[in-house]
Structure 1
Amino acid sequence: MDGRPGFPQPNRWLVASVAGTVAVAVISAAIGFIVLPTAQDGPQYRGIWNAICSAAGVSRHWVENESIVFPRGGPVSAVTITPQTLSRRDPEAVQRGGVLATRCAGCHNTSQAVAPLLAGQDAAFVYKQLSDFQSGARTNVIMTSIVKELTDRDMLDVAQYFASSGHVASGDDKSVETEPSIVAHGNPTKNVVSCAVCHGGVDHKAGAPFLQGLSASYLSTQLNAFAVSERHNDSGEQMRNIARNLTETEIKEAAAYYAGLKGRTTGVTWP
């Protein structure tokens, strides 16, 4: 034994640099995940755990003893949509829904820019929107007054009628190369998936509307409403989270693209 210690003395500069790096990381995390979020107003920022989840972008139930979020004093949708929702057509329901839908023709037709064309639309989507207008999760003076007297069966039948009164065409007069990047690829750097993943083209999510042929004005209005939470009937906040991260140019490009598609067949029969 030569009397030297069994382990070499640590390099003080290395220890200092590692300690400094760890300290900076801890302080930055504390500021970004706790200090800044808790400085915001709203129940979703109450408490350290809620602040951390909010800063990390994790959707959760923020308010104690509440099962859903109520942004800006309004409820979100309580309708649960699955791939099986209204997946089977009922001829009797379609016929009854056609009678009920006579009042819809004035607004939901190809000549209107402020109301969506519903012929051939996803049945689960139509049912969900009607239910949301009735519950107050989605608001519109005209629609709220129309649906307030409808029963759940009425809304189911109307949804089946519209889904069977036309169909979304699989082809269009534009090539894939003309699709805006936000439609075809999304924006991974901002955690935005492509529109085609949920709204048809790549895949279709249950309860998501088909966008082909809808007016650019209507689409832009809805995206901007989601972006500022004026519209908040997306139960999982998926559209609000996406719309907040879209630029004005991306919204205009997506709206113009879908408006230009030949989305529906002609010759839709109204009751």
Structure 2
Amino acid sequence: MTIADGPLSVVKVGGSLVSDPDRLRAVLASLADGAEGRAVIVPGGGPFADAVRASQASLGYSDALAHRLALDAMGQTAEVFSELEPRLAIVRSIEAARAHDGVGLWDPVGLRDGHPDIPETWDVTSDSLALWLAGALGAARCVLVKSAACSANVSPDDLVRLGLVDRGFPDFRRYFPGEIVLRGPNAPFHPDTLPEATERSGCLETEFEGSQRSLRLSYEARQCLSSRDEDETRMSGSLARGHAA
């Protein structure tokens, strides 16, 4: 069975892994090798999101704008991950993510204009967005790759009370009825032994780490790429239907 034939996973790779380059490269290479099978990777915002938090604290702009800039930060991390592991292609729309039959990197630029199910506040970070995407794609599991360990028996509600996940995380579970898996620093990927979906486990969200950096990618450029992705997806579908006929 090839990667394309297996169940889909959504894999959140935290931006905090930027502080551990060796592990980050190993994780991305393992995913590209098929460690989680067919997958869409959700990147954290990492140091780019830190820059948004710092500039908002200094300038006092709205949480709605900060949310949109944090989405940009995730897109920037996707660009970094793709350069570190060129086998990972960036997908910039739900349609492109659904049609991709390998392992892709999600740039959430398509959410920048807003979505009725996603509050534009710091209550929602990339972990909640990973759950939302897993539900939207009908994924079998949502895997959270973290820089810190977490007991599988700790519930998301408990982790919120401990300040370890964003406050929106328990609510976003309603979008995803499948399995949630944690991959901490002592739980490496094993490409030859894909996990079976069994039961939901606890999860951990760590604080964003890294230096403050300026945002480099423009929304307009990524929006154009998103539109191109959708056009290519529709074209591929049309060609497939033509061959089928």
TM-score (norm 2): 0.25
Q: Which one scores higher on RCO, CA 8 angstroms, separation ≥ 6?
A: 2
Report which of the two structures shows the higher radius of gyration computed on alpha carbons: 1
Larger relative strand fraction? 2
Normalising by structure 1, we get a TM-score of 0.23
